[in-house]
Amino acid sequence: MKTKITLGLIAAVLLTQAGCTTKIRSLPLPSALQTQNAQDVALYFGDDAHAPVKQTFGNKEFAVRVNRQPEKSPEATCNIALTKAIQELRDYARTQHANAVINVKTRFQHNESTSPAEFTCGASLNGSTLAVRGDVVMLETN
């Protein structure tokens, strides 16, 4: 009887742990985020070139966690998390009357990416998590 209970507890722990395993992923940045839209707050990832800074509003970070949906892959939920975090960053920039966010970085825990082509995300069977940070600024316009 004790053996069955012990085996049952071990199985429960293993199943619980299997669902909590988070993998750090480096994924391609969606092309929509790599293209600047003159009507929206511009994003400049890492060391992307940009116009001179006219005014700085400070550094801002938003962290987002998206629950995994059964029909979506971990990569898809990472993209959803990135889109939500970028939207929050842009919304904040608008409230500051900024026209750009420069030095944009993505991270999961201590793993950070400044790449203009990739982003970092933590994905598990339960969902995806990441943070997006950047310097909110007003760039000079021509």
Report the pLDDT value the prediction gives residue 5, as an integer from 0 to 100. Answer: 59
Q: Has residue 113 been placed in a domain?
A: yes
| Upper half-sphere CA count for residue 62 (Cβ side, 13 Å) | 18
Report the pLDDT value the prediction gives residue 14, as an integer from 0 to 100. Answer: 42
Kindly report the length of the chain.
142
Side chain identity, residue 34? Q
Report the pLDDT value the prediction gives residue 67, as an integer from 0 to 100. Answer: 93
pTM: 0.81
**Any idea what the CATH number is for the domain that residue 120 is in?**
3.30.110.70
Nearest to 32 by CA among 77, 86, 100: 86
Nearest to 55 by CA among 102, 104, 114, 89: 102
Per the structure, the count of domains in the chain is 1
Pairing mode, strands 127-139 and 118-123 = antiparallel
Q: Has residue 53 been placed in a domain?
A: yes
Q: Has residue 11 been placed in a domain?
A: no
Quote the domain boundaries for residue 66: 22-139
Low-confidence stretches of the chain (pLDDT < 50) are: 7, 9, 11-19
Q: Has residue 2 been placed in a domain?
A: no
Side chain identity, residue 66? V
Report the pLDDT value the prediction gives residue 68, as an integer from 0 to 100. Answer: 85
Q: Has residue 129 been placed in a domain?
A: yes
Q: Has residue 65 been placed in a domain?
A: yes
